[in-house]
Amino acid sequence: MDFLLPELPYAPDDLEPHISGRTVDVHYHKHHAGYMAKLADAIRGKPLERLLLEDIVRTAPENGDVFRNAAQVWNHTFYWNSLAPDGGGKPSGAVADLLRRDFGSIEDFKQNLATVAKGEFGSGWAWLVADRAGRLRVLSTSDADNPMRDGHQPILAIDVWEHAYYLDYQNERGRYVEACLDHLLNWRFAESNIETAAAEVPTPGRVKLAG
Ligand code: FE
């Protein structure tokens, strides 16, 4: 892997008024960049350097510094893409159909994701994933953990570490999560991730996601 931090897919203040430019700036340039610097320090010049970031996230020993920093690099890149200045609201098309199939309604899905995001104790992540059977599920992970470790395909992520919202919402994580759901979730990104998951060669027992 190289150690270049992927560029933000928008300007830092493009998510205002829901997430401030100051928050995105510190989150990206200090936190995200910091994880990348620590990962580089840990693996530069070692065999692990030749692996893809995703493979390190999937296979590195749990709770080691290599795993933590690699996962935080991956998770944050995924998070930036999970948000968009013109996002939020209700999805349409294939994503909407799958959410209705697996959660009953879009509203039930949003409530489910909000509950999980607000309920994760301490630092972590809230995810929409496709599980091994091809069904959409909502789950949370603690600290740096990533659903790919359990064979799930991430579709969308919300960072619920305090550094993601404290400058804008102080301790009110719920208001930040609602702002993500109502105004920022990037449904186009979700759709492309669902297409990727659906394109994987179906294994016995695996249900196709779409099509
Ligand atoms: Fe973060």
Please tell me the distance between residue 31's alpha carbon and the centre of ligand 1 in angstroms. 6
pLDDT higher than 80, residue 206:
no
Predicted confidence at residue 197, as pLDDT, reads 82
**Mean pLDDT of all residues in the chain?**
93
For the stretch 53-89, pLDDT in tens is 999 999 999 889 999 999 999 999 999 999 999 999 8
Cα–Cα distance, 22 to 111 (Å, whole number): 28
Which residues are near ligand 1, the ion (C-beta closer than 5 Å)? 159, 161, 164
Cα–Cα distance, 199 to 184 (Å, whole number): 26
CA 70 from centroid of its chain's CA atoms: 14
For the stretch 10-35, pLDDT in tens is 999 999 999 999 999 999 999 999 99
pLDDT band at 199 (very low <50, low <70, confident <90, very high): confident
Predicted confidence at residue 210, as pLDDT, reads 44
> What residue spans in the chain does CATH classification 3.55.40.20 cover?
93-199
Please tell me the distance between residue 95's alpha carbon and the centre of ligand 1 in angstroms. 26
Q: Are 154 and 147 in contact (CB under 8 A)?
A: yes
Residue reference for tokens 């995105």: 24
Q: What is the model's pTM?
A: 0.93
Assigned CATH for 20-82: 1.10.287.990
Q: Are 144 and 72 in contact (CB under 8 A)?
A: yes
At the fourth CATH level, which superfamily is domain 93-199?
Iron/manganese superoxide dismutase, C-terminal domain (3.55.40.20)
